[in-house]
Amino acid sequence: MRPLFQAQGSFTAERIEDPEAERFQPLLERCEDFFQLCFGRPARPDEGRQLPLERPPGVPSEAGHLIAVRDTSGQWVGVLEGLQGYRKPGEAYLGLMLLAPHVRGLGLGAALLHGYEDWLRSEGMHVLRVGVSEPNTSALRFWRRMGFEDEEWVGPMRQGELNYRVLRMRKTLTSPAATP
Task: Give, as one character, the DSSP assignment of residue 73.
Answer: T
Instruction: Give the least confident one: 1-15, 133-147, 152-166.
Output: 1-15
Question: Could you tell me the pTM of the whole model?
Answer: 0.92
Q: Quote the pLDDT of residue 177.
A: 38
**Cα atoms in the Cβ-side hemisphere of radius 13 Å centred on 76:** 23
CB 81 within 8 A of CB 20: no
pLDDT of residue 179: 37
**CB burial of residue 72 (10 Å; 0-12, 13-18, 19+):** exposed
Whole-number Å distance between alpha carbons of 127 and 171: 6
Number of independent structural domains in the chain: 1
Residue 152 identity: E
Residue 176 has pLDDT above 60, yes or no: no
User: What's residue 2's pLDDT?
Assistant: 79
Residue 65 or residue 2, greater confidence:
65
**pLDDT higher than threshold 70 for residue 178:** no
- Residue 174's pLDDT band (boundaries 50, 70, 90)? confident
CATH number of the domain to which 76 belongs: 3.40.630.30
- pLDDT, residue 61, reads 85
Count Cβ neighbours within 10 Å for each residue of 151-170 and write b for 16 or more, e otherwise: eeeeeeeebeebebebbebb
Asked whether residue 115 carries a pLDDT value surpassing 60, the answer given is yes
User: 57-107 pLDDT, tens per residue?
Assistant: 889 888 999 999 999 999 999 999 999 999 899 999 999 999 999 999 999
Write out the residue range of the structural domain in which residue 163 sits. Answer: 5-178
